[in-house]
């Protein structure tokens, strides 16, 4: 379906003053090229100046049958006839003819001139391009300037080359030339038109279109599925009156290789840089149809075009186009395909009457019938926007779909249109009155329409017409902004009658794509599109800032459309309102129910408002706006009131008024934990602490924790599990109150949020720092999280942090003076979990080794010091803390004190250095040696009893003046040694210094046990 809107895309019209009837026209490079009837002279007119003055004229070497201009290289390529032969020629440096220089050089492809061009500077050159077959179609690549020539059953690609020559004045002159790169054989298709763009090759026959992708590679490859794949082809038997009609077929992407047209590549012998490979991209075959009195011969494809689209971030000269589109047309329908990123049919155009030619641009499609110029919208910008911006089609941004139905904007009447071409904002039309008498035309039309034979119609020479029966028009299109403004005015007619009309949304979507196409234009395209705008309404190039402002306005209008849309499309209100840049208060004002209309709010508006409130934003609503939001949700969606009240944007909400609404919600929906906490928060804002406490005491602590999990924003604003570690978070008023009155509940809630991925570790740390509790509640949070977490990375991080904190507390609490320097909160307040609690409930805290209680009695230091010591000792006794990670931190603690010595001894023991531990313990606290040995010298370390401990005790006992502790330890050691060794081994251990009698009882015990064993 094609929508019809009576907009005015055409702003001006002028006639080019040419002396002879034009036969062929083309445009490019800011110029209009005209070949007059007779075809041996080319005239160039400026499209950039008022009145289109003549730039230059030059003669051709034969009668021009076709002419094309290449933007890259600024050259003209023609097919010319002379002496019944067809030639292919390229005209370079044609602009020098405007300087009155008649000198022209003629050379063959690949043969650079060594004469006048070198001695006297640049001149116009005619390059003869030899071909073994007659050229029937020519195309220039708009990206590379390469040349594609279609012959009877082959395609020949010529690569554009630039070569430098040094002139007589030692100036380097860049000379254009071509190199025959590759020949593609198409034995089962006869080209009528060809197109080339960035490696894509399109061939059009009478009712078939084939698009291929030509790539060069360094390794030789073959086209397995396309070489010599002869299949049954529908053929026309010229010896019968039967018409063989081919079946319609559309093959996209890889499926296109299944068509019945084989393709093969012939090496030219000139390329030595690699091999070319071909891949099928698109194949479309049509069945001939009779259309409005047209004969079968007239029902043929035309207007083949490959169109590249660059985006504003690209450079046309150095990059591949972001998008490539393929357009072709039948007399009654046109087809637009997107080729890059997956082949897709974007639009099918249904024409109201027979179309002769069509030209695609990135903003509009211009078509001509016999007596009218028509304009249709295109979907190129919708494709390019999705390629350029990955956030399209998300909650952040939106764009009308590529499948949006097209519309016709305008029909401008002319007489006898023959051809159309476009350059920038200029549409060039060639018209010539039909010299055939009307009665003959009427008699001939039915006869042609009744013809049953499908034959190829040969082009006829345009008959000479009387002077004045032909015209060459330059029609100027309006700037995108002006056309957009007209569409906005047009849309108001729909908005006044039916705000939910599909036509309103469709028209605004068309305007959106029009502005997107303007914003996607490269600087070069913007410059070219502004050339020649000379009317009063569009006298200057459109300013990008104005287009961006219009784009935001259009997004707001589309947001309004989708705010009251159906359930299917209502979500689009969110991205369009976001792109509009409107503040939420303005969006609310645009969506207030009218007194004469329904009083409910649209689904799209509610969807937008929910997302605004649920996202972490710095924008706070005034009390008036916040109260209005509460009213909106209390009427439209009461179940969301808890989340609405918890939003950081609602900090200025009226608590008393909101509390009444929440009480009503509780009466209708029942009691819930998040609702109770929300009501308590309102009481807190009213500074009614008794009623706040009463509400919080309704539920057990664990239920309150579940309530925080359901709505994390009751405790913190600005975070969220999806935010980064540096996402700014801040505590709520409820969080500050819990830190004072219920710190255990706050810590439990924060642990639950962390374990449910509602807050990250760094964000929680920031919350406790904001509360000025980083040395107390923060440590409690770490300890509680360590108990709950199962993530190894989190566990190791917390172990290191806690060990660092315990060491820091020990450093600052070993003397009363140092203790007085601690923050009052941490100096007075006890931790939520004692060392015994952690040892009993957390596997990462190990039970203290027995020898530690002997080494460090519990009554020697303050409570804070003792707790920090026991927790650190417990971590070192546990299985999880890596000693190597905290060893450098322990260097801050001296071994002069027994508690400091115990920590260093624990590290040595965890490292397996028991012999060193025995020596140090005998030096500092021998009464703990037996407890140490009983705990550590077991299993594989049992031999240390007699290899290390017994010799040390013997030596130290003899040398000590008061050896009672050592003697007791020696006796205990001998008991173990006598139990674990044989009599012969025990005898070897007895010293030979005359004290053997001391060891005899233990030897006797050893012998008896050995005999029993």
At a CB cut-off of 8 Å and minimum separation 6, what does 765 contact? 774, 778
Residues 6+ apart with CB under 8 A from 621: 584, 585, 629, 649, 650, 652
- The two three-digit tokens of residue 120, written as one number: 């006297």
Q: Considering all CA atoms of the chain, what is the largest pairwise distance in Å, rounded to the nearest integer?
A: 150
Residue 60 pLDDT greater than 80, yes or no: yes
Is it the case that residue 540 has pLDDT exceeding 50? Answer: no
Q: How many residues does the chain have?
A: 1013
Query: Of the candidates 353, 373, 378, which has an alpha carbon nearest to the alpha carbon of residue 474?
Result: 373
Kindly indicate the confidence band of residue 753, based on its pLDDT and cuts at 50, 70 and 90: very high
Q: Examine the pLDDT at 868 and tell me if it is beyond 80.
A: yes
Judged against a pLDDT cut of 80, whether residue 51 lies above it is answered with yes
Which H or E run contains 442? helix 438-449
- In DSSP notation, 713-741 reads GGTEES--TTS-TT---EE-HHHHHHHHH
Residue 115 predicted with pLDDT over 80: no
Closest CA to 513 of 672, 650, 335, 381: 381
CA pair distance 591, 980, nearest whole angstrom: 90
Residue appearing with tokens 């804070």:
864
Backbone region of residue 945 per phi and psi (left: phi > 0; alpha: psi in -120 to 50; beta: other values): alpha
**pLDDT tens digit string along 174-226?**
788 999 989 999 998 999 999 999 899 999 999 999 999 998 765 554 444 43
Determine which of 494-503, 569-578, 621-630, 849-858 has the lowest per-residue pLDDT on average.
494-503
| pLDDT band at residue 583 under the 50/70/90 scheme | very high
In this prediction, residues 347-370 reach a mean pLDDT of 94
Residue with tokens 């090496």: 267
Least confident of 278-287, 472-481, 671-680, 817-826: 817-826
Give first-to-last CA distance, the chain, whole Å: 104
Query: Average pLDDT, whole number, for the chain?
Result: 84
Cβ distance 659 to 682 under 8 Å? yes
109 close to 91: Cβ distance less than 8 angstroms: no
pLDDT in tens, 62-101: 999 999 999 999 999 999 999 889 999 999 989 888 776 6
- Using one digit for the tens of pLDDT, what is the confidence trace for 933-950? 999 999 898 988 888 888
Mean pLDDT calculated for residue range 595-604: 76
The band of 621, judged by pLDDT with boundaries at 50, 70 and 90, is very high
The model's pLDDT over 127-170, given as tens digits with 9 standing for 90+, comes to: 999 998 999 999 999 999 999 999 999 999 999 988 776 655 55
Mean pLDDT of 24-39: 92
Give residue 499's pLDDT.
Answer: 65
Topology of the domain covering 3-229+243-441+468-477: Methylamine Dehydrogenase; Chain H (2.130.10)
Helices 673-685 and 655-669, axial angle in degrees (round to 10): 160
Evaluate whether 282 touches 209 at the Cβ level (below 8 Å): yes
The proportion of the chain whose per-residue pLDDT surpasses 70, expressed as a percent, equals: 82
**Residue (of 185, 187, 130, 179) closest to 157 by Cα position:** 179
Q: Name the E strands within 120-263.
A: 124-128, 137-140, 147-150, 154-166, 172-185, 193-197, 200-204, 208-217, 249-252
pLDDT-derived band at 441 (thresholds 50, 70, 90) equals very low
Least confident of 319-333, 479-493, 522-536, 997-1011: 522-536
Q: In Å, how far are 45, 310, 643, 999, 1008 from 1011, measured between CA atoms?
A: 126, 99, 81, 18, 5
> What are the residue ranges spanned by the domains of the chain?
3-229+243-441+468-477, 933-1013
């Amino acid at each position: 379906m094609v929508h019809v809107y009576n907009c005015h895309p055409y702003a001006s019209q002028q006639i080019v003053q040419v002396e002879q009837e034009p036969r062929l026209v083309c445009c490019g490079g800011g110029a209009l090229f005209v070949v007059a009837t007779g075809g041996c002279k080319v005239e160039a007119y400026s499209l950039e100046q008022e009145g289109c003055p003549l730039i230059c004229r030059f003669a051709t070497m034969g009668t021009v049958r076709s002419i094309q201009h290449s933007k890259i290289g600024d050259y003209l390529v023609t097919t010319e006839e002379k002496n019944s032969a067809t030639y292919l020629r390229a005209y370079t440096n044609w602009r020098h003819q405007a300087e009155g220089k008649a000198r022209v050089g003629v050379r063959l492809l690949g043969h650079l001139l060594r004469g006048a061009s070198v001695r006297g500077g640049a001149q116009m050159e005619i390059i003869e391009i030899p071909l073994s077959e007659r050229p029937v179609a020519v195309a220039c690549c708009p990206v590379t300037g390469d040349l594609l020539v279609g012959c009877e059953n082959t395609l020949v690609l010529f690569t554009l080359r630039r070569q430098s020559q040094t002139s007589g004045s030692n100036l380097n002159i860049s000379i254009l030339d071509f190199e025959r790169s590759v020949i593609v054989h198409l034995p089962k298709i006869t080209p009528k038109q060809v197109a080339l763009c960035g490696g894509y090759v399109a061939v059009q026959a009478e009712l078939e279109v084939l698009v291929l992708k030509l790539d060069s590679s360094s390794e030789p490859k073959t086209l397995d599925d396309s070489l010599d794949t002869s299949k049954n082809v529908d053929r026309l038997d010229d010896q019968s009156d039967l018409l063989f009609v081919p079946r319609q077929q559309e093959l996209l992407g890889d499926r296109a290789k299944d068509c019945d047209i084989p393709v093969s590549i012939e090496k030219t012998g000139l390329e030595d840089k690699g091999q070319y490979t071909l891949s099928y991209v698109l194949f479309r075959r049509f069945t001939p149809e009779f259309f409005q009195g047209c004969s079968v011969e007239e029902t043929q494809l035309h207007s083949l075009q490959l169109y590249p689209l660059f985006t504003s971030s690209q450079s046309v000269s150095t990059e591949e186009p972001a998008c490539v589109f393929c357009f072709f047309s039948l007399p009654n329908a046109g087809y637009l395909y997107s080729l890059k990123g997956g082949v897709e049919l974007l639009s099918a155009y249904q024409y109201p009457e027979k179309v002769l030619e069509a030209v695609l641009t990135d903003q509009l499609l211009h078509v001509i019938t016999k007596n009218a110029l028509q304009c249709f919208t295109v979907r190129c910008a919708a494709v390019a926007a999705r390629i350029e911006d990955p956030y399209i089609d998300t909650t952040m941004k939106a764009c009308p779909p590529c499948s949006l139905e097209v519309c016709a904007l305008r029909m401008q009447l002319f007489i006898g249109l023959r051809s159309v071409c476009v350059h920038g904002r200029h549409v060039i039309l060639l018209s010539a009155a039909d010299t055939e008498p009307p009665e003959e035309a009427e008699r001939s039309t039915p006869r042609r329409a009744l013809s049953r034979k499908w034959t190829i119609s040969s082009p006829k020479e345009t008959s000479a017409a009387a002077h004045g029966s032909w015209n060459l028009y330059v029609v100027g299109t309006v700037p995108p902004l002006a056309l957009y403004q007209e569409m906005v005015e047009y849309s108001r007619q729909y908005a006044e009658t039916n705000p939910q009309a599909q036509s309103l949304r469709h028209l605004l979507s068309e305007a959106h794509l029009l502005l997107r196409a303007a914003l996607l234009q490269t600087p070069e395209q913007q410059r070219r599109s502004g050339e020649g705008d000379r009317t009063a309404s569009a006298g200057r190039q459109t300013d990008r800032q104005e287009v961006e402002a219009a784009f935001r306005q259009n997004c707001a209008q589309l947001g309004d459309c989708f705010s009251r849309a159906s359930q299917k499309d209502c979500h689009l209100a969110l991205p369009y309102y976001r792109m509009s840049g409107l503040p939420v208060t303005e969006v609310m004002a645009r969506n207030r129910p009218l007194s004469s209309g329904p009083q409910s709010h649209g689904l799209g508006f509610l969807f937008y408002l929910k997302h605004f409130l649920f996202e972490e934003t710095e924008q706070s609503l005034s009390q008036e706006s916040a109260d209005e939001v509460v009213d909106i949700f209390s009427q439209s969606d009461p179940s969301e009131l808890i989340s609405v009240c918890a939003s950081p944007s609602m900090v200025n909400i009226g608590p008393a008024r909101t509390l009444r609404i929440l009480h009503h919600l509780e009466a209708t929906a029942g009691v819930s934990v998040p609702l109770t906490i929300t009501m308590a928060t309102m009481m807190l804002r009213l500074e009614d602490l008794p009623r706040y406490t009463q509400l919080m005491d309704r539920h057990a602590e664990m239920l309150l924790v579940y309530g925080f999990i359901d709505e994390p924003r009751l405790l913190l604003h600005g975070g969220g599990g999806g935010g980064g570690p540096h996402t700014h978070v801040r505590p709520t008023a409820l969080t500050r109150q819990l830190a004072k009155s219920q710190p255990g509940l706050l810590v439990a809630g924060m642990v639950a949020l962390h374990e449910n991925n509602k807050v990250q570790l760094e964000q929680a740390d920031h919350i406790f720092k904001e509360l000025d509790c980083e040395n107390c509640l923060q440590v409690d949070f770490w300890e509680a999280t360590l108990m709950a977490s199962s993530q190894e990375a989190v566990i190791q991080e917390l172990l290191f942090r806690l060990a660092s904190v315990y060491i820091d507390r020990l450093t600052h609490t070993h003397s009363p003076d140092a203790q007085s320097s601690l923050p009052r909160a941490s100096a007075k307040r006890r931790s939520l979990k004692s060392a015994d609690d952690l040892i009993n409930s957390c596997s990462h805290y190990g039970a203290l080794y027995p020898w530690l209680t002997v080494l460090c009695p519990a009554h020697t230091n303050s409570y804070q010091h003792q707790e920090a010591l026991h927790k650190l000792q417990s971590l070192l006794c546990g299985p999880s803390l890596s000693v190597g990670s905290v060893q450098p931190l322990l260097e801050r603690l001296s071994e002069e004190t027994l508690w400091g010595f115990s920590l260093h001894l624990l590290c040595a023991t965890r490292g397996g250095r028991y012999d060193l531990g025995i020596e140090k313990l005998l030096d500092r606290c021998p009464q703990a040696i037996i407890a140490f040995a009983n705990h550590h010298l077991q299993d594989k370390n049992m031999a240390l009893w007699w290899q290390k401990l017994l010799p040390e005790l013997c030596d130290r006992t003899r040398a000590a003046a008061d050896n009672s502790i050592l003697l007791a330890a020696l006796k205990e050691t001998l008991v173990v040694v006598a139990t674990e060794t044989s009599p012969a081994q025990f005898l070897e251990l007895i010293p030979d210094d005359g004290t053997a009698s001391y060891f005899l009882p233990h030897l006797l015990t050893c012998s008896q046990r050995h005999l029993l064993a």
